[in-house]
A and B are shown apart, each in its own frame.
Chain A
Amino acid sequence: MLTMVQSIADAQRVALEADESVLLLGEDIGKNGGVFRATEGLWKQFGSERVIDTPLSEAGIVGSALGLAMGGFKPIVEIQFLSFITPAFEQIVSHVARMRLRSQGTFSNSMVIRAPYGGGIGAPELHSDSTEAYFVHTPGLRVVVPSSPFTAKGLLLGAVECPDPVLFLEPLRLYRTQKEEVPADHYILPIDRAKVIKQGEDVTLIGWGAMISLLKEADQLLLEQDISAEIIDVQSLSPIDEVTIFESVKKTGRAVIVHEAPRTCGVGAEIAARLSEEVIDSLEAPIKRVAGYDVPYPLFALEHAYLPSTDKIVRAVMELVYFQ
């Protein structure tokens, strides 16, 4: 039984063992094992040539990781918190995401950038943001989010094998809240597929990362009201597996999209737009979003008011079910 943070460390151990070109780079990931212990034990096992404590220098880390990838290595980079990725933003959107295209397939840009993200744990200021939409808006980059210890290991190993650069977003709130059986071996989950994690008839609940636990809780409350919800874990925010979402909403006729990021131009807006383009004939009600508000992520005394909750999800579903 592993927690998510343990399964992420385990995935990196397996990746380092399986492929000599894999390198880990990041701040405090070596001797300290990462501020969340997501690289626990790896420095000791693989040494400082492969598990590299870098200077505090996000653009330097990601930029040099790109050079290492071009030179045939497979970097797995840790950005300590997604909120701190912004100094590396230019390297990611202007170079990492484009090097394959710009060199017409000559130079590799294959790397994984891991970053813990999301709120709900009472973290200090600028430690809780969900800025996935910036990166989903960047063609050439893949964005993947696990929602459990089992999916975290399989998706992370899938990301490592992928020839494209992958931003791997790890929901902070799930790092230690659940334990499950995680195979000790190497296994891969596809990083371009959404997953129906519970079948239902009346409404499709769409989310990813930490929102999946919330959707499961909301589903229990909805069952008490005799409402049958289907739950989709999007997992791959970009490129998105729209077909799985379309098929579900065609069946249920209702969709609620739930994310922590601010509502405006969040990934939910894109999903809603695609649903309106592709399955409008099947819709029984408008598409609903339960999202963060269009305000900066609050200091934690107010984060409960900012974040999606089961109450907010249930209310949104009710509005759709009783829509006239």
Chain B
Amino acid sequence: MLINHLLPCGALTDDGASFWLTLREQEKLDLLRLLRSVRLFDRRMVLWQRQGKIGTYAPIEGQEAAQVGSAYALDKTDWIFPSYREQGVAYTVGIPMTSVIQYWSGQIEGCKPPAGYRYVPPTVPIATQLPQAVGAAWAMKKRGETGIAIAYFGDGATSEGDFHEALNFASVYDLPVLFFCQNNGYAISVPFSEQSASKTVAERAAAYDMDAYQVDGNDVLAVYDVVKTARGKQRPVLIEAITYRTGAHTTADDASRYRSEEEVRIWLNRDPLYRYEQLCLSEGLLDEDELIQEDGQVTKQLDRAIREVEKYQPNLPMGLFQHVYHQIPECLKKQQEEVASYADNGSIHC
């Protein structure tokens, strides 16, 4: 059963109305500000890619509620294993925008989480972060910590062997790990109907004797509610958030080759931001002027962040050799000196 609190028009369902009553005003406003900021940030990233300021980028537009709602339910000590399309998660938990921009600008420094964070660098090979999240959850359980590990992945990842291995391990050892699938309908160009003969991702959980939820991923309240509940179980849970990426797979992709304008229009009418804004406006939490003013502030922060990243000076030769091993091995030092010699005479340009 699809869990739904907030309808596309901005009206609460019965369950949604009860959940709304449990929220503090700060939570309600946080969710709104996060959704709006994440959309602004994501659109800026696409723009900056077009302007040549950053590299190829994987936009998240349409998936903001799934990311903000789930990440908002997490604790700072939780382990987070993102895929490469989780900028909304990063923003919500407090990863600096400069780090995210650095990563998409090809700067490894952007992968380093701020002190105290267990936010793992984005995983590119599909589903490989799932067994790792299982291990991190295992470490927490062994130490008697109360946190969880959450692995983010898409619908395509559910066809990988690592998906099975991770769910099986988590279930066999009963580990506190949340498998959070954003089913956005497509793995690049392949629709979910061709990816899987199971009608849903959530139903796979039954095979592992694992709890599962299927939630409207464009409904930030339902996602927040479900992840908060799942987090409290301290057991493995599979969550399928039904959503849609309204943009392309990446800035190098043309989505019109594999899906119709009509389909995209249907999903634009289910927009996650619009429906929550409508709710907040109708509840009188904020007015439109205040929203516009806040957007201006976020835009200023974004401009400062990109300028900061554009100051990048390559750290050579150490940027290549540092952290590969805990110390640079003797036989690598010659290669390090070679890079230094080119960097010194100015023949390496970045």
Contact = CB atoms under 8 A, between A and B. Distances in A.
A70 B331 contact: no
B140 interface: yes
Given A57-B165, A72-B139, A104-B109, A66 B125 contact: no
A74 to B, nearest CB: 11
B324 A139 contact: yes
A103 B332 contact: no
Contacts of B136: 67-68, 70-71
B132 A60 contact: no
Contacts of B131: 59-60, 62-64, 66-67, 91
Contacts, number: 136
Interface residues of A, number: 43
Contact of B111 (A90, A103, A243): A103
B169 A55 contact: yes
A62 B128 CA distance: 11
Given A63-B166, A67-B137, A70-B132, A103 B113 contact: yes
Contacts of B324: 100-101, 139-140
Given A103-B111, A192-B329, A239-B325, A67 B135 contact: yes
A158 to B, nearest CB: 13
Contact of B332 (A70, A107, A164, A239): A239
A303 interface: no
A104 B128 contact: no
Contacts of B140: 71
Contacts of B172: 55
Contacts of A57: 165, 168-169
Interface in B199-223: none
B79 A71 contact: yes
B135 A63 contact: yes
Contacts of B332: 239
A106 B131 CA distance: 19
A90 B128 CA distance: 8
Nearest to B141: A71
Contacts of B108: 101-102, 104
Interface string B104-127: 000011011100000011010100
A49 B325 contact: no
A95 B128 contact: yes
Interface in A47-80: 49, 54-55, 57, 59-60, 62-73
B134 interface: yes
A96 to B, nearest CB: 9
Per DSSP, chain B at the interface is helix
Interface string B161-199: 110011011001000000000000000000000000000
B272 to A, nearest CB: 30
A78 to B, nearest CB: 16
B311 interface: no
A242 B333 CA distance: 12
B224 to A, nearest CB: 26
Interface string B78-113: 010000000000000000000000000000110111
A90 B134 contact: no
Interface string B123-156: 1010010111111111110110000010000000
A87 interface: yes
A10 B72 CA distance: 48
Given A60-B169, A101-B324, A192 B330 contact: yes
Contacts of B325: 100, 140, 142, 164, 239
B349 interface: no
Contacts of B134: 60, 63-64, 67
B24 interface: no
Contact of A63 (B113, B139, B165, B326): B165
B330 A63 contact: no
Contact of B323 (A72, A100, A162): A100
Interface in A89-120: 90-91, 94-95, 100-107
Given A63-B166, A103-B120, A73 B142 contact: yes
Contacts of A60: 131, 134, 162, 165-166, 168-169
Interface of B: 79, 108-109, 111-113, 120-121, 123, 125, 128, 130-140, 142-143, 149, 161-162, 165-166, 168-169, 172, 322-326, 329-332
The 3 A-B pairs at the shortest CB distance, nearest first, are namely A67-B135, A71-B139, A63-B131
29 contacts: A54-B169, A59-B162, A60-B131, A60-B169, A62-B131, A63-B166, A64-B138, A66-B135, A67-B131, A67-B149, A68-B136, A69-B135, A70-B135, A70-B139, A71-B135, A71-B136, A72-B139, A73-B142, A87-B161, A90-B162, A91-B128, A91-B162, A103-B112, A103-B121, A104-B109, A105-B322, A140-B325, A240-B331, A243-B330
